[in-house]
Amino acid sequence: MPDLKTVVAEIAAEMKERPDRGEVAKYIPELARVDPNAFGIAVIDAEGKVFTGGDADTPFSIQSVSKVFTLTLALGKVGDRLWRRVGKEPSGSPFNSIVQLEREQGVPRNPFINAGALAVTDVILSGHQPREALGEILRFMQFLADDVSISIDHGIAGSEQRWGFRNAALANYMRSFGNLENPVDFTLGVYFHHCAIAMSCIQLATAGRFLAHGGRNPTTGHSVVSLDRARRINALMLTCGHYDGSGEFAYRVGLPGKSGVGGGILAIVPDKASIAVWAPGLDAAGNSHLGRIALEILTRRMGWSIF
Ligand code: DON
């Protein structure tokens, strides 16, 4: 078996040097300012050993990776009733697409496209003030990552709120079908802020450990979800976690994974490891270009593809 420490160090060194870095997200000014040369990776194995390379300690905007955790919270609140409001199928469309919503009566294809994540956020918000719902999400992240220093980048959240016309359109459209229950501005506000949570690769890989180990963090012993639920969240990450790049990610990497436009990817190796990578440059589908390549090399060298 190859030595994980060496493999991670070699990947980080190679990724720092590569000229093909993709394009940093430019749809809000704050994200466009991120250094495209950054690269970080953290791998946490089943014993809790942490292997890092590059900028593994630098916080970045987790963006859509947060949707894994809001999905976990919403399932905890309403269980399978969630699936009345959002589907479980890959969309084959960009993350911010609106076209399917009209044909499918305001029910988004899956919880990871923006429309689906807005419905999930709306479930978490129900019965609460936006501030309370956001506090619940942030505390959940701090609990999972075992780190109370995790915070929200309010500059990014504010910028997204000013420029989030597409998300506002999606939310209003769903509301017109009765698939948002709270005031649209409340749901959007909580959504923008949970996307703006800043975490390092080490924190993110730690937060994902329950998904690699049957719903439970094997180091702290904390049970987060049941084995069944962990399996199902992983299934959705595999089939929908990279939007219209999900097939390509499964083909090349072979792991459940969730990307964000900040350039982060959380990937899960069942029973073996939780991995977070960060490389801000994106491919055409809005997924981290070098993040995906780094994971492809890692899974090939470690024999970690689930297929
Ligand atoms: O709502 C948005 O557009 C962003 N806050 C999140 C999108 C995202 O991260 C898509 N991921 N690749």
Q: What percent of the chain has pLDDT over 90?
A: 98
Mean pLDDT for 30-45 is 96
pLDDT of residue 127: 87
- State the virtual CA torsion across 72, 73, 79, 82 in degrees, nearest 10: -90
Task: Using the mean position of ligand 1's atoms as its centre, give its distance from the Cα of residue 95 in Å.
Answer: 7
Q: Name the residues annotated as catalytic.
A: 64, 67, 191, 243, 261
Mean pLDDT for 15-33 is 93
Question: CA 263, CA 23: separation in Å to the nearest integer?
Answer: 10
Measured by CA distance, the residue closest to atom 4 of ligand 1 is 63
Q: Are strands 50-54 and 257-259 parallel, antiparallel or unpaired?
A: unpaired
Counting Cα atoms < 13 Å in the Cβ hemisphere of 28 gives 22
Task: Using the mean position of ligand 1's atoms as its centre, give its distance from the Cα of residue 168 in Å.
Answer: 13
**Is the CB of 261 within 6 Å of ligand 1?**
yes
- Closest to 242 in 3D by CA, of 194, 283, 195: 283
ipTM above 0.95, yes or no: yes
Question: CA 205, CA 147: separation in Å to the nearest integer?
Answer: 12
pLDDT of residue 27: 85
Question: Which of 64, 152, 163, 187 has the most ligand 1 atoms within 8 A of CB, as the residue to mutate?
Answer: 64
Question: CA 238, CA 234: separation in Å to the nearest integer?
Answer: 6
| pLDDT of 1 higher than 80 | no
**Is the CB of 97 within 6 Å of ligand 1?**
no
H helices within the chain, ranges in order? 4-17, 29-32, 66-78, 99-103, 114-125, 130-145, 154-163, 165-176, 184-195, 201-207, 209-212, 227-240, 246-252, 289-302
Question: Which of 28, 34, 114, 194 has the most ligand 1 atoms within 8 A of CB, as the residue to mutate?
Answer: 114
Rounded to the nearest 10 degrees, the angle between the axes of helix 184-195 and helix 154-163 is: 140
**Is the CB of 160 within 6 Å of ligand 1?**
yes
**Complete domains list, the chain, with CATH:** 4-63+199-302 (3.40.710.10), 66-197 (3.40.710.10)
- Closest to 15 in 3D by CA, of 281, 300, 238, 255: 281
Q: Residue 49 — left, alpha, or beta (φ > 0 → left; ψ -120 to 50 → alpha)?
A: beta
Mean pLDDT for 243-249 is 97
**Mean residue pLDDT across the chain:** 97
Tens-digit pLDDT profile for residues 90-131: 999 999 999 999 999 999 999 999 999 999 999 999 989 999
Sheet holding 197-199, edge to edge: 60-61, 197-199, 151-152
Is pTM beyond 0.80? Reply is yes
Return the higher-pLDDT residue of 27 and 264. 264
Measured by CA distance, the residue closest to atom 11 of ligand 1 is 260
Number of DSSP helices (H) and strands (E) in the chain, helices first: 14, 10
